[in-house]
Structure 1
């Protein structure tokens, strides 16, 4: 009888061990499943445009070329008014909202109100473009300044052309110091992982030889 009881006890102990192993495997499998479900579908890796010399980057590192290109692209798009600034400016802000910080978007919307009140938008056509010889490649150390691990100052030297009813009313060359922040929040709406935080300082007027100001 004692021998039979010992055999049963051993079987029970073995069954309990197997049950514990199954529970442990289930917990590990659940952890793996959670990690798989919460992992991002896409991972943005910034690669410099010129790969002739090769490049080694940490996945989270954003090269200055990418920061400069982003700042120039967003600011040009905001200031492209092909038909009527009274409509185009506000539409651009809404269209680019995922590439702007909340504070910058509010600042730009306030700028729309002020310009409308001053009559600086209706029937205005506007475009800005990079000054020749003053792009990133000409002075990369100055064009993009690392402010912190997650923020940069981008200095854009741009020409602004503005027309009112097809008549030129403004042509000016200025330096626009923009602040760009890491903003890897919604890859679907913002694949760049960056956001424009408007100006990092005062806009400076530039005197360019041979350029006439209106």
Structure 2
């Protein structure tokens, strides 16, 4: 009788063990499913422009060439005033806000207001482009750490009053760039300008004869 009782006890113990194992597997399955559901649907991978020799890098690593290209593109757009700086400059700041840190956006809005109050933007047309021969080089970007960079842009800034050229300057703009994964829908680059890391430096200037028109600022 004890033999059969022992066998029944062993069977019941084995069933309880299997049930406990099934419960643990179910719990692990739920954890795996929740992790899968919370994982990002899109993953941005930054590749260098020249892939002829291949590239192996961590997915979170952003190459300096990408940081430079981002900085130049956004800064060029900020300084593109095709019609009238009075309206174009604030409009550019608004449309590019997703690519600016909050402190940089506030600084640019303050700058736009101050320049507008002083009459420096009225009927001004502006554009910037790279200085020929001074595009991206290895020393154009300084890697501070994984999430911060300093970028040096050597640009030509041209300004016009209506159709008359009033200023041309070659300027080195030292910019700060930070990793900014806040809103991938609005900012697929995952980067943001944090304005200047130092005071812009005049490289050389091509003087333009002043225009004798009322209200023109040189």
Structure 1, residues 66-125: CA drift from partner, whole Å, max 9, x if none?
010000000001111111211111111111111111111111111111111111122211
TM-score by length of structure 2 reads 0.89
For residue 164 of structure 2, the aligned residue among 145, 163, 167 is 167
Q: Are 2:166 and 2:208, in contact at CA under 8 Å, matched by a contact in 1?
A: no
SS in structure 2 at match of 1:105: helix
Q: Quickly say closer, same or farther: Cα 1:213–1:173, change in 2 above 3 A.
A: farther
Q: How does 1:35-114 map to 2 (within 5 A)?
A: 35-114=35-114
After the TM superposition, list the runs of 4 or more consecutive aligned residues in structure 1 that deviate by more than 4 angstroms: 1-8
RMSD: 1.7
TM-score by length of structure 1 reads 0.90
Structure 1 unaligned blocks of 5 or more: none
Structure 1, residues 190-213: CA drift from partner, whole Å, max 9, x if none?
1111110000000111116xx445
Q: Quickly say closer, same or farther: Cα 1:43–1:88, change in 2 above 3 A.
A: same
Matched, 1:142 2:127: no
SS in structure 2 at match of 1:184: coil
Partner in structure 2 of residue 178 of structure 1: 175
Q: Are 1:172 and 1:213, in contact at CA under 8 Å, matched by a contact in 2?
A: no
Structure 2 unaligned blocks of 5 or more: 210-218
User: In 2, distance between residues paired with 1:52 and 1:9?
Assistant: 69
Matched, 1:155 2:152: yes
Matched residues, number: 209
Q: How does 1:17-32 map to 2 (within 5 A)?
A: 17-32=17-32
